[in-house]
Structure 1
Amino acid sequence: MDLVRARQVDVIVVYKVDRLTRSLADFAKLVELFDEYDVSFVSVTQSFNTTSSMGRLTLNVLLSFAQFEREVIGERVRDKIAASKRKGIWVGGPVPLGYRSVDKKLEIVPEEAALVRKIFMDYLHLGSIATLAASLRAEGLRPKPKKSSANSPAPQFGVGALFYLLKNRIHVGEIAYRGETFKGEQPAILDRETFDAVQQKLKEQSIGRNAVRQASPSLLAGKIFDDRGNPMSPAHANKKGVRYRYYVSQALLQGRKLDAGSVPRVSAPDVETLVMAALRREHSESETRVREADRDLVDRLLNRAVVNRQSISIYLRPETRVENGESQEEGNPITSPFMPALPVRKGVVHRPPDAGALSDEARTALLAAIARAKAWIAEIQRDPSLGFSDIAAREGLGAAYLRRLAALAYLSPPPLVEAIAEGSGGADLTPTKLLGDLPLNWAEQEERYLSA
């Protein structure tokens, strides 16, 4: 698609239409893109002419059958997996620690089984998964290496992997499927009492974590990752009585600096602003206009956010995409341009607006800055191969300055921008002041800058 947008493609040739896509919705978007960039679409084995209504009908019928075939195959596979799991059959995937796969059945590996029992007992003794991970690393204990990396050392036990292991019912001879448990064919490694005790402790800790998370100002806690898959945890620093919030890669916090992503530490308000703006756009397109609280919107729509060097990839929850007529899989992310090392606002600081009205000169400069910021963001969204550095070179501006100014594109459109245009905003509405302390959502922006 990048080549199409760069106008380097004239014709796209496929064997059959369904080799391109088996989704009517996706195909409609592709055709719209092809028309926009004057790209022809040809099927070698199927004859149709999309310039006529009959040709378009034929094409839609072909795609409807292709999508139906895909959905039927998916249903059959899911039904087969469900039937197998209800019979207690292990249906494949990564072999759990403590077992090996022999003729598609799980058999106990004594040495690994002893490690599994030790992990469960140590967790009951220590009461913390993070402490358990540190204890296992100190003892030099590692999980089994993956087949693809048999010649490389196995990774260390991480908090996420240990949590999954402690919840895995395979170790007590059961198979879990969609909230139900069935008697499995594999032999049990753990006794029921130990496993139940661990589940009870995990449940108690989960309640505590949820309460802390609801009280935390970090909206993306548990849902933000670096580009190497490491979770990013909330952190803060205090300076002169002000608390500055960050998200820091777990790899960095655990002393594994080489395993951290390209952006191991980001300002929490900066990344939260971009993610919330993307979720608000998705909400306005797919839901009613009733405004939700930020945390409710994050819990309902956001699956995960991945911080890259020049962008943030925002993945929606699968059920959200189903509601919008898309597939149940995670699908393509929403990508928002982002410069991690912003030399501006690093934390949550509230400064009351200065008294006075916005001067004509300042109002004109601010409106021009907002218009330029919106144009830059729209240009990048149209052409993802374009970066801030390319626009900066064209405009004769510094890349860091341009990235900073681009945040003005996310100002509250109707009330705040109109107030600036009419000159009814306060003197505090300047690019420097706004970028230095811009709230996370439009409601807070309006309350701060329009309440006076």
Structure 2
Amino acid sequence: MASPSKPRHPSASHPKAQAPKTPALKTPALKTLRCAIYTRKSTEHGLEQAFNSLDNQREAAEAYIKSQAHEGWRLLPEPYDDGGVSGGSLDRPALQRLLAEIEAGRVDVVVVYKVDRLTRALSDFARLVALFDAHGVSFVSVTQAFNTTNSMGRLTLNVLLSFAQFEREVTAERIRDKIAASKRKGMRMGGPVPLGYRVHDKKLVPCPDEAEQVRTIFEHYLALGCLNGLATALQSRGILTKRSPRRDGTIRGGIAFTKGPLAYLLRNRVYIGEVIHKHRHYPGEHEGIVPRELFEAVQVALSEKAQAQATVRANIGSLLTGLLYDDRGNRMTPSSARKGALHYRYYVSRALETGKRSEAGSVSRVSAPEIEQAVRDALRTASLDLAVLSDALPPIAQVSRIVVHSSYLAISFVQSDEAMDDDRMGGAGTGAGTPEPSQLRVSWSARPNRRRREIIRAEGDEETPSLRPMRTETRARLVDGIAKARVWLDDLVAGRVSDTHAIATAEGCSERSVRMTLNLAFLAPSIVKAAIEGTLPEGCGISALMNAPMAWTKTSIALGGHAA
């Protein structure tokens, strides 16, 4: 009996049957890391070369990124190059663009040639690392392989940055010592070129035209004794600040002088051939353009002015400080002056302080005690008549602004919370029907700074039009001219001088000036008498009378019948 056959495996019945295959594991795709290269050079020296330091740094960084291509590193095309920029600060154009891209999430890796190309300061590096970590950005140095994701990499970076900061500080000390030693030798170490000089072979050389302007500034200050007046005088003469070209092609300076630049110029010892270093001065290599006697006289005048202002600077207690404005919107600030034992206080428009007299209001200067008393009287009346003032505060504390006009003061008040609520609701509050004023007008006029000069007319001259008298300075020049003309005429008649050319040579003036002045010797006696007494009208000065008709009757008619 045959034994039953064993069941066979299904696969065995087919000659080509095979075991089932295990599915293959797929390799995960590499993440693309966007790499930005940052390069920097502290100075501009060598940047004009075809292959400079920035190119070298970028080439090395590009090669490093290519070596990491198997890790998914890809170079971003945007260059971040800071040429001629110090690493002592993060305020660098290319670095700021790179940080903006990091914050926008468009950079994954920052690649530099060396760590100190990114920064030399530990504090700045800590800020950068914090920014990188916050946005998941890695930091790589090509020549100093780091991984900032672990503690050892951070330690190494901090050690290197400590040495970089040490090197920077030692370099700065060395530069400061070199500058100090050079200035002790009188050498110029750069900086803006002062008015009156130009630079030749790194040395200051006087400019004749500008040097004359500088001497004029010193002489005018001694004559005026006031920086504001000096600024106005220089503006009228067309004397401006030094014009110097910048690196970007724009022009620095060439504008009107103000108080600050004038004070600096008048204190600058460069103009007497010296250099200054840390409040000490040394003989310089350049030539001075201002006489030492003139310079020292100006220093004495400036010191006396500063001392007088310091001793009388009681303007802190000026009642209207910060509240007063002229009628063109310029703030009026406290000022003071001293004449002998008398002390005067004023409020002066800022337009005058900055040398812009044409922009001042109708009242540019006012006596402080006078206007303060006027405001006190107005507020005392307002506290009785106006509900806008509160009993909880003194009246002056409730004033927000005072505008000075030629004929009145406009006093504005700070509105209370209740009044502002009423304004918002259209006057539906307690004051509805009788709106409370927020501004007070007070009749007022500024006292003139100078006394008015008037011609006193005799009885029966009421119909004669009012004439302004000539100024005292004009009268003095006219009388002096008449006296000179008569002396020169006597010398010519007596033969003591040969001709007008000899007079011009002796007087140091032109022959034409002598001939014009001689016309004053033939003026009518009544006109000469009026000139001596100061009763000639304005406009009848020396120039007008030089060109007056020789006939006395015609001269009187030309002067409107005055002094006939």
- The normalised TM-score by structure 1 is 0.48
Question: Counting helix residues as a fraction of each chain, which structure ranks higher?
Answer: 1
